[in-house]
Amino acid sequence: MRKFLLTLAAVALTAFAAKADRTVTLDFVGWNFDGAADWGSSYAEHTVNFDDATVYFTKANRQSEGMAISDCPVTKGYDIVVTAKSQIVSTSVLFKQWNTKTKTASIVVDGNTVAETDAFAFENVAIGATSYTISFSETSNQIGLQTITLVLGDGSTPVDEVAAPVITPGTGTYDEPQTVTITADEGCAIYYTLDGTEPNDGSTPYTEPFVVSETTTIKAVAVNAEDTQSKVTTAVITIKSVHSIANTIDNPYTTAEAIALIDDPNADLADSVYVKGVVSNVDSYNSKYHSLTYWLDDKTFEIYSGKGINGEDIESEDYLAANDTVIVYGLIKKYNTIYEMDKNNYIVYYGKYKGEVVNIKNTPETAYTVAKAYELIDAGEGLDEKVYVKGIISSIEEVSPSYGNATYCISDDGTTTQELKVYRGRSVGNEKFTAEDEIKVGDEVIVYGKLVLFGGSTYELASGNYIYSLNGNTQGIKRISEDKETIDLSTAVIYNVLGKRVTDMSKKGIYIVNGKKYVVK
């Protein structure tokens, strides 16, 4: 009888030592979590800390108000890593998505896929670890994350189980080399690997912190005095490319370094860089855009449709010759099999002449096309600042002199295909519209404003925009000058003194033609 009672006591003790499950919900809807105010419309890394867990977004953003997913974080198919302070027994995840592309989401634990779904919700997926990764298929587009529900142990460890070690820092992307520490319960030895292989008591023993200076997968186990081994803890430490550091006009990349940067999967190619090389040959001259396409360093690196010193127009292909040394500033990429610097680049050093450092990434002279505006909106990039977009007015919804604004659409070719809506914008020079015929279909405009995807489907320049130039004219009616030269009225933009656009000057009076004053007597 005594032995039976002792057995019951042992069973009760084991049950008491086992983890008591509890449920926590990590809620992202409404942007009420810590650090939400730091999120913007550009895709970037974010770490969100909750009491019981940390959620790391490889790349995510906050969509603008009025878009389909503006109430929670949005990822474009990039990994999300969930790490809890205690064992995750199981998890449920709820997504929000607004596009129609076919996608698959997966939950990965220690490199193994444990669940997949195409319904954008996981329910009660068994984890059995302190961390897991949510991955998406390559065809994923914008996907919102609403909630993550975790069933956690209470932090205790069953009597027959060894607690997994903790790796610090955990999985993430870092700007510089990281010092790594690994800790475990007292009396346990720690073993680890740095090549992604599974560790055991024959792996490298951990004795002191160590430094990782390149992207590394660390796996570690703890082993107690009875040779009982814990579960494996994994941390993927991603170190950003060193190429992103110290690139200046005085310290430009070589073409070989630029190629290595393009090939680096962890490199950020969003910003323009300086590249130095020797011209091997001039490939072509574009008389329309006054630019050259040429090759550097034995045709290993192409400079596509580039401008001259400080962005000046190039008037002939003789501007450069073989063996000239240049430093060029612009965005770099790989186009098919060609390593190149993209159009809108320009020379900052030619021979002994060093030009000024100017940013022509987006100016009236290098205004985005409508197609480029679509790309930026789809990528969720460049939506925080106002930009210049050039197009042809393809349709007009309303011109309201009473409110001083107009709503119309522009496109690259003047057709209604791929239109960008210009919503309640002002006229040239940010002046109010004063006449309904102030603009017409077919006018060429450069408009300045913020890009947005309204309602999840309408690509537009938001309210607050204005026309920078109309058919080449950048002067509003309040900024005029007197001129007596003759002009071609068949192509001119004509206003009367009341600000109303007219088509001829048959009546006596004062007219504003292309921003200049003319008197018909």
Quick one: pLDDT at residue 3? 41
Instruction: Please indicate, yes or no, whether residues 71 and 134 belong to a single structural domain of this protein.
Output: yes
Pair 166, 222: CB distance under 8 Å: no
pLDDT of 303-322, one tens digit each?
Answer: 999 998 878 888 888 888 88
Task: For residue 59, give the nearest of 150, 112, 135, 122 by alpha carbon.
Answer: 135
On whether residue 405 sits in a domain, the answer given is yes
Contacts of 125 (CB under 8 A, 6+ apart): 90, 91, 92, 107, 114, 115
Quick one: pLDDT at residue 240? 67
Quick one: pLDDT at residue 328? 94
Quick one: pLDDT at residue 357? 39
Give me 497's structure tokens: 């003194």
Compute the distance between CA of residue 216 and CA of residue 238 in angstroms, rounded to an integer: 7
> What is the number of domains present in the chain?
5
On whether residue 122 sits in a domain, the answer given is yes
From 180, 211, 239, give the residue that closes a domain: 239
The CA dihedral of 377, 380, 382, 383, to the nearest 10 degrees, is 80
Quick one: pLDDT at residue 89? 86
From 323, 354, 385, give the residue that closes a domain: 354
Identify the weakest region by mean pLDDT among 36-40, 203-207, 286-290, 490-494. 490-494
pLDDT of 259 > 60? The answer is yes
pLDDT of 113-140, one tens digit each?
Answer: 878 887 778 888 888 888 999 988 765 5
CATH number at 316 reads: 2.40.50.140
Instruction: Please indicate, yes or no, whether residues 379 and 341 belong to a single structural domain of this protein.
Output: no
CATH number at 49 reads: 2.60.120
pLDDT of 141-150, one tens digit each?
Answer: 678 899 999 9
Quick one: pLDDT at residue 457? 85
On whether residue 4 sits in a domain, the answer given is no
Instruction: Please indicate, yes or no, whether residues 234 and 251 belong to a single structural domain of this protein.
Output: no
Average pLDDT over residues 492-520: 67
Quick one: pLDDT at residue 355? 41
Instruction: Please indicate, yes or no, whether residues 40 and 145 belong to a single structural domain of this protein.
Output: yes
- Enclosing domain of residue 224: 166-239
Compute the distance between CA of residue 497 and CA of residue 48 in angstroms, rounded to an integer: 59
pLDDT of 91 > 80? The answer is yes
Compute the distance between CA of residue 26 and CA of residue 42 in angstroms, rounded to an integer: 23
DSSP 71: S
Average pLDDT over residues 93-115: 76
Task: For residue 207, give the nearest of 225, 226, 220 by alpha carbon.
Answer: 220
Average pLDDT over residues 220-247: 80
Instruction: Please indicate, yes or no, whether residues 338 and 418 belong to a single structural domain of this protein.
Output: no
Whole-angstrom Cα Rg for the chain: 31
Instruction: Please indicate, yes or no, whether residues 425 and 390 belong to a single structural domain of this protein.
Output: yes
Compute the distance between CA of residue 244 and CA of residue 505 in angstroms, rounded to an integer: 59
Give me 518's structure tokens: 């003319």
On whether residue 248 sits in a domain, the answer given is yes
More confident residue, 117 or 197: 197
Give the pairing type, strands 273-286 and 253-254.
parallel
CATH number at 375 reads: 2.40.50
Instruction: Please indicate, yes or no, whether residues 76 and 131 belong to a single structural domain of this protein.
Output: yes
b/e code 308-323 from CB counts within 10 Å (16+ = b) = bbebeebeebebbeee
From 110, 125, 152, give the residue that closes a domain: 152
b/e code 54-66 from CB counts within 10 Å (16+ = b) = bbbbbbbbbbbee
On whether residue 159 sits in a domain, the answer given is no
Q: What is the mean pLDDT of the chain?
A: 82
Between CA 302 and CA 313, with CA 308 as vertex, the angle to 5 degrees is: 120
Instruction: Please indicate, yes or no, whether residues 375 and 494 belong to a single structural domain of this protein.
Output: no
Instruction: Please indicate, yes or no, whether residues 329 and 374 belong to a single structural domain of this protein.
Output: no
Quick one: pLDDT at residue 409? 97
Distance, first Cα to last Cα, the chain: 125
Instruction: Please indicate, yes or no, whether residues 77 and 120 belong to a single structural domain of this protein.
Output: yes
Name the residue type at position 151.
V
Quick one: pLDDT at residue 270? 82
On whether residue 1 sits in a domain, the answer given is no
pLDDT of 337-381, one tens digit each?
Answer: 999 999 999 998 876 443 443 344 678 888 899 988 898 888 777
CATH number at 171 reads: 2.60.40
**Predicted model pTM:** 0.36
pLDDT of 377-416, one tens digit each?
Answer: 887 777 778 889 999 999 999 999 988 899 999 999 999 9
Identify the bridge partners of residue 447 per DSSP, sorted by sequence position: 389, 467
Compute the distance between CA of residue 79 and CA of residue 496 in angstroms, rounded to an integer: 59
More confident residue, 432 or 358: 432
What's the chain's length in residues? 521
pLDDT of 1 > 60? The answer is no
On whether residue 55 sits in a domain, the answer given is yes
Q: What percent of the chain has pLDDT over 90?
A: 34
Residue with tokens 């932090």: 155
Instruction: Please indicate, yes or no, whether residues 190 and 100 belong to a single structural domain of this protein.
Output: no
On whether residue 361 sits in a domain, the answer given is no
Quick one: pLDDT at residue 60? 87
Strands in 178-183's sheet, in edge-to-edge order, are 166-168, 178-183, 210-212
pLDDT of 518 > 50? The answer is yes
Name the residue type at position 291.
S
More confident residue, 520 or 178: 178
Instruction: Please indicate, yes or no, whether residues 377 and 451 belong to a single structural domain of this protein.
Output: yes
